[in-house]
Amino acid sequence: MNATQASDFFVRCIEKGRIPHAFIVHGGTFEQRYDVSLKAVKILECEKSPNVCETCYHCRAISSNNHPDISRVKPEKRNLSIDEVRTIKQDMYMKPYSGRYKIFIIETDWMQAPAANSLLKILEEPPEYGIMIILARNNKNFLPTIVSRTINIRINPEIEAPDVDKKNSEYLEKIIQSAERKNWRNFFSMCAEIAKNVSREEFENIFEIIVMTARYNLLKDTEITDKNLKGTNQESIINTVSHSQIEELLDKRTYLRFNVNSRIILERIILELISPKWRNWQTR
Ligand SMILES: [Zn+2]
């Protein structure tokens, strides 16, 4: 779903009178996930809930990041530690001060087993008013037991290429071009160059560009423009097909965590990107 639909999901929870205790909002960009969480807490806490008035005490306190019942947890390197989970747990069981709910927004991409197990304990017996909203790039890095006990809301990537470092994306385009032209000498030396000069974080960024480029190309190949997609069955078909392939790519990101040589990953994903499997996906 897109970011607006993701926020609306919280409205529907309230309308149904059933509010789950834990969510994972994943996919999309950092800003989109952040916006969804901001809107969600307003939907939950506003005096006019499930509407958002933007003028009541709760809305204003949330906008100024100053609401006593809402905590943002930002783990170092986006890796949630057991200490942070313990703090959440302690805090969670103290009743809300002024809001209906006590809400924890946790920006994390992974957690080691001890932290995950401790979090599971909270998920098994959450207080009635306790809600956790985990914001993650991808929910695949979490234990299946965590994922299965939470409501997973996936924000689809935008069709437009993301606003990323221009220098990196231009360089990447050149690498993809040299692979397409089978100029292997150029291709391998440019991969080596980029892998040598960028940090792990930048590399992940480059990875995002590749994924977005792949998605963009898939959509372009169908000659169906974004406008035509809206509100048709094609939208879901295209989304399904391209997503499964994008997910294949995203799985490769897991390698990054294990410190596999970034040059080799880069070579591999680009070669896969230009292979006939990607180009002719419609005819498969
Ligand atoms: Zn309000």
d(CA 224, CA 235): 9
How long a stretch of residues is the chain? 284
Predicted structure pTM score:
0.59
Residue spans in the chain of domains classed CATH 3.40.50.300: 3-155
What's domain 3-155's superfamily in CATH? P-loop containing nucleotide triphosphate hydrolases (3.40.50.300)
Residue 39 Cα to ligand 1 midpoint, Å, equals 11
Residue 65 Cα to ligand 1 midpoint, Å, equals 14
Residue 70 Cα to ligand 1 midpoint, Å, equals 15
Residue 56 Cα to ligand 1 midpoint, Å, equals 4
| pLDDT by 10s per residue, the chain, length 284 | 887 888 888 999 999 888 999 999 998 888 899 999 999 999 999 999 999 999 999 999 999 999 999 999 999 989 999 999 999 999 999 999 999 999 999 999 989 999 999 999 999 999 999 999 999 998 888 999 999 999 999 988 655 444 556 676 677 778 777 877 878 888 888 888 877 777 766 777 777 667 666 666 666 555 544 444 444 333 333 333 345 555 566 666 555 555 566 677 777 777 776 665 555 444 33
Residue 64 Cα to ligand 1 midpoint, Å, equals 13
Residue 283 Cα to ligand 1 midpoint, Å, equals 51
